[in-house]
Chain A
Amino acid sequence: SQKIEQNSEALNIQEGKTATLTCNYTNYSPAYLQWYRQDPGRGPVFLLLIRENEKEKRKERLKVTFDTTLKQSLFHITASQPADSATYLCASPGGANQAGTALIFGKGTTLSVSS
């Protein structure tokens, strides 16, 4: 079955630097990957979706890449700010045929941006 691995549990960087978070999938190439942000005590908030046939997607200071050869997605936050401190989750569609809206999540990477 599909597994989503986010190998870094925690990432500490300085304000202004670029944060790069990694997401690896172990089995079939998912039709898409999604990235969510979760703050303590709150539900995840959708950030970006990248499809299998897209190499890169951008939204303001966020950039996501999808490399089917490496079975990996990278999530970048440029010019990071303390307000970017949160846990970031990568998710792949689940289910036998990837239909429906079931998602398989990684355990997340907690980003801390210090000023």
Chain B
Amino acid sequence: KAGVTQTPRYLIKTRGQQVTLSCSPISGHRSVSWYQQTPGQGLQFLFEYFSETQRNKGNFPGRFSGRQFSNSRSEMNVSTLELGDSALYLCASSLGAVYQETQYFGPGTRLLVL
């Protein structure tokens, strides 16, 4: 079974630009969660989508948004990029019906904002 895939793997943007990251979950998984990982803050939860609906949201500004498509693929968008948005963005998928579930992470997208 193919794992979670994320594209692109690396991105360089400048302040003020916007960026869209993509995540394809494991086949059959309906939940996709997004996390931001930085050396200072560690892994921080951004949001979770289940069956095309946002089910949970972390404490990030409205510049961070996401969506999920009917095939469970998900995208996240960051508008008006700031230097502090430089991070590894990870997506994780799970079956999603209940909690206490293992999450399967993708390799991440490394975003550098100049």
B56 contacts partner chain A, Cβ-Cβ < 8 Å: yes
- Residues of B in contact (CB 8 Å), total 28
Chain B, interface SS category: strand
> Given the complex of chains A and B, what is the CA–CA distance between A102 and B56 in angstroms?
7
* Contact assessment for B56 and A100 in the assembled complex, using a CB-CB cutoff below 8 Å: yes
> Given the complex of chains A and B, what is the CA–CA distance between A36 and B104 in angstroms?
10
Contacts of B48 in A (CB 8 A): 100-102
Q: Are A46 and B55 CB-contacts (below 8 A) given A100-B48, A107-B42?
A: no
Contacts of B90 in A (CB 8 A): 43-44
Q: Which residue of A lies closest to B50 (CB)?
A: A100
Question: Which of B33, B42, B104 meets A102, CB within 8 Å?
Answer: B33
Nearest Cβ on chain A to B4's Cβ, whole angstroms: 7
Contacts of B41 in A (CB 8 A): 107
> Given the complex of chains A and B, what is the CA–CA distance between A71 and B102 in angstroms?
22
* Contact assessment for B99 and A104 in the assembled complex, using a CB-CB cutoff below 8 Å: no
Contacts of A107 in B (CB 8 A): 41-42
* Contact assessment for A101 and B96 in the assembled complex, using a CB-CB cutoff below 8 Å: yes
> Given the complex of chains A and B, what is the CA–CA distance between A49 and B44 in angstroms?
19
B87 contacts partner chain A, Cβ-Cβ < 8 Å: no
* Contact assessment for B92 and A49 in the assembled complex, using a CB-CB cutoff below 8 Å: no
Q: Which residue of B lies closest to A102 (CB)?
A: B56
* Contact assessment for A101 and B103 in the assembled complex, using a CB-CB cutoff below 8 Å: yes
List residues of chain B with CB under 8 Å of any chain A CB: 4, 31, 33, 35, 41-45, 48, 50, 55-56, 58, 90, 92, 94, 96, 99-108
A sample of 12 cross-chain residue pairs with beta-carbon separation below 8 angstroms, ordered by A number, consists of A31-B100, A42-B107, A43-B107, A89-B43, A93-B100, A94-B45, A95-B56, A99-B99, A101-B48, A101-B56, A101-B99, A102-B58
